[in-house]
Amino acid sequence: MDQKLLLQCPPRNRAVFIQLFFIAVASMLAIIANPGFYRSDELNITSHIQRNGIQDYLSSYLTLEPHQEFAFNVRPVAYLVEGLVSLLLPDYPFLVHLADVLMHWLVAVLLFLAIVQFCGRRQLAWLSSILFIISPLAVFSVGWTGALMDRLYLLFGLLAFLAAHAYITGRRGYAALAVVIFSSVLAMLSKETALVLSAALAVYWFFPIQNMNRRRLWAAFLAWSLPVLLLVLYRLPYLIEGFKGNINSAYAPSFLNAPIALFGYFLFPFLPFVEEASFSLFQPMFYTALAVACNLILLYLIVRAFSVRTLLAYLIGYSLFLIPVLTLPITHMFAHYLYGSGVAFSIALAALLLAAQDRLHLLLPALLIAIASLHTLVIQRYFYRHGLCMHTMLTSLNVAYVDDNMPKHMSILAMPGSQVQSLSYYTEGRKYPTEFTILDWDKRQEWTDYVFNCDCILHKRPGILLEVKEWGPVSTIVNNVANRQSDGNGAFWIKVEKLDELGRLEVLLDGQPALQTKVRPGLITAKFPPEQYAQEGKYQLEIRQLESGKTLRVGTFVVEPLSAIDKN
């Protein structure tokens, strides 16, 4: 079947690396082109550097402190990389995303080498690497700059694996063990989830190789585990407190969360329209059933093509990287945690493609890949739209903040249909440049100073929230009462939208209130005395909310001179 495949592995490694690079860039264009970012994580780092300088950043973030919250100050390597990349964020956001994609490519290259080294099957390694690049399990970590730690720890994990393999097979000596230890340290200092990495050596138990030295295997395992043990011991008091439930943190762990979270993470790749992993558990029955069926088909295909032992290896490989986060609350199920699971997922699908004996057996894994790839595209689109929105919001927010003389607090009303998630991801826990409160549309009765609209523009609230569609008359000739009524007064009509719950309104012409303002659904009418039309000029027509005193500008009414008749 190998020969019939369109995607043939190039014979030379360097050609493989170059082609994987092309595939990574071309398949991640939407991620690279994203002009914005995903959450306040990466923006906080940039703000910190802009405000306090890079040295202060390094001294604040590049430390190892045991008694802090789950994700704080225990990732110096990751924060070093993030800090350096953040320097490009304000002027060249695409370079930050390009660095994310390049890191992903590097992981794919190491994955290729690891598979080739382990089993010698280049075509399997090639397809696995491609599937890993485009996997929906990987795209979240790549699209979210702030999740670079998930990429980093896997990158160092793969390096450790390559070195361990060279030692176990007797090709290298103690230098390889030193590389294992060094990579393990870097992985642990990138993300503490790396504590599971040494278990990856179980692959030698599932798939024994000929030239394996068991003593060396144990030595490599110990070398790999040593930095893990040291860091865990260092953080042990906090971890114990965490499991006792004594810590008041959004990340407070519990074993009860694990089964349901695991179920959700398994569904994720085959739920093509789900963006964040926590939504996996709340999908319509049809999609959930589809994802379960896809998983069952995948498991069945693995057993059928290989063995139950292989199935077990796949399940462990998929779950291994999730173990440290399975105990977190369901609301904290995040798709970027799945980056490591993408390895087992990609290898399994690639192996099934290669094991297919005929077109029919090729069809099922191809179908699974198609669903997963659709999911990747949906997530990329999500990142792009979210980033574009956050970018627009940030630009307009900067202006609103400066124009308002840098207020200490900004209360923002989110209009219906606006991408409020982008706004809240930016403001969550953020105190720079100021503190924020977001009000949903349901709470619009409470006054806010700013509005966030459907175009992701954040602006100073101009007055009452009313959309004027049309109004008239827009002009008259001096002393000609416009739209004269039976009582001799002139009248205006203003067609509006969103006229509910606005309280009492009155229309003003040149600051003078109307004799009478009538408010009906979708229409406001107002009467003005003939004297209002006696002086030529331009006059502002406004609507005022009596309770708040806020006004909305409708337009400019023109009283033209008599000479305008001749011109017309």
- In the bound complex, what is the minimum distance in angstroms from residue 77's beta carbon to other proteins? 27
Question: Per this entry, what is the length of the chain?
Answer: 568
- In the bound complex, what is the minimum distance in angstroms from residue 33's beta carbon to other proteins? 3
> Within 404-508, where are the H helices?
420-427
Kind of pairing, strands 450-452 and 409-414? parallel
Query: CB atoms < 10 A from the CB of 146, how many?
Result: 20
Q: Distance between CA 338 and CA 341 in Å, rounded?
A: 5
- In the bound complex, what is the minimum distance in angstroms from residue 496's beta carbon to other proteins? 13
- Torsion over CA: 322, 326, 327, 329 (sign): positive
Q: Distance between CA 128 and CA 150 in Å, rounded?
A: 19
Which residues are bridge partners to 24 per DSSP? none
- In the bound complex, what is the minimum distance in angstroms from residue 386's beta carbon to other proteins? 12
Residue nearer to other proteins on the CB measure, 326 or 397: 397
- In the bound complex, what is the minimum distance in angstroms from residue 464's beta carbon to other proteins? 10
Residue nearer to other proteins on the CB measure, 93 or 253: 93
- In the bound complex, what is the minimum distance in angstroms from residue 395's beta carbon to other proteins? 4
> Within 356-507, where are the H helices?
359-403, 420-427
Q: Distance between CA 39 and CA 336 in Å, rounded?
A: 13
Residue nearer to other proteins on the CB measure, 27 or 288: 27
DSSP type of residue 431: -
Q: Distance between CA 63 and CA 51 in Å, rounded?
A: 19
- In the bound complex, what is the minimum distance in angstroms from residue 249's beta carbon to other proteins? 36
Residue nearer to other proteins on the CB measure, 7 or 230: 7
Residue nearer to other proteins on the CB measure, 322 or 410: 410
Q: Distance between CA 187 and CA 508 in Å, rounded?
A: 67
- In the bound complex, what is the minimum distance in angstroms from residue 454's beta carbon to other proteins? 9
Q: Distance between CA 505 and CA 545 in Å, rounded?
A: 5
Give the 3-state secondary structure of residue 164: helix
Residue nearer to other proteins on the CB measure, 424 or 453: 453
Residue nearer to other proteins on the CB measure, 93 or 269: 93
Query: CB atoms < 10 A from the CB of 259, how many?
Result: 10
Residue nearer to other proteins on the CB measure, 46 or 198: 46
**Of the candidates 136, 100, 98, 132, which has an alpha carbon nearest to the alpha carbon of residue 335?**
136
- In the bound complex, what is the minimum distance in angstroms from residue 540's beta carbon to other proteins? 9
Q: Distance between CA 119 and CA 126 in Å, rounded?
A: 13
Would you list the DSSP string of 483-533? T--TTS-EEEEEEEE--TT---EEEEETTEEPSEEEEETTEEEEEE-GGGG
| 148-168 helix and 76-86 helix, angle to the nearest 10 degrees | 130
- In the bound complex, what is the minimum distance in angstroms from residue 16's beta carbon to other proteins? 10
- In the bound complex, what is the minimum distance in angstroms from residue 502's beta carbon to other proteins? 16
Residue 331 has which token pair?
């609301």
Q: Distance between CA 200 and CA 193 in Å, rounded?
A: 13
Residues that bind other proteins (CB under 8 A): 14-15, 17-18, 22, 25-26, 29-30, 32-33, 35, 91-94, 97-98, 384-385, 388, 391-392, 395-396, 398-400, 402-403, 405-406, 451, 453, 455, 457-463, 551-553, 555-556
Find out whether 126 and 331 touch, Cβ atoms under 8 Å: no
Residue 314 region, left (φ>0) first, then alpha (ψ -120 to 50), else beta? alpha
Residue nearer to other proteins on the CB measure, 399 or 534: 399
